[in-house]
Amino acid sequence: MATELYAPMVGKIVEFLVNPGDEVEEDEPVLLLEALKMKMPVVSPCDGTLTKFCVKEGAEVESDTVLALIEED
């Protein structure tokens, strides 16, 4: 079952830190979100495989936007 990774706040996607197909661990940074002129990591909510990003780098996102899908191990 896929777990969704949500944007914690309004911001801009600055950089992906992992690639689709990569294994991620709970609390591992997956991407950087720029909000209020600060870059903050958005971390994985679980252990698993990042299956896809649902947004593109440079995209402006709203709070609670689905950013990525992670297939739990």
What is the pTM (predicted TM-score) of this model? 0.94
In this prediction, residue 56 has a pLDDT band, given cuts at 50, 70 and 90, of very high
Convert the pLDDT of each residue in 58-68 to its tens digit: 999 999 999 99
Is 55 a residue whose pLDDT tops 90?
A: yes
Number of domains, the chain: 1
Name the residue range of residue 63's domain: 2-72
Is 4 a residue whose pLDDT tops 90?
A: yes
CATH assignment at residue 45? 2.40.50.100
DSSP for the chain reads -EEEEE-SSSEEEEEESS-TT-EE-TT-EEEEEEETTEEEEEE-SSSEEEEEESS-TT-EE-TT-EEEEEEE-
Is 73 a residue whose pLDDT tops 90?
A: no
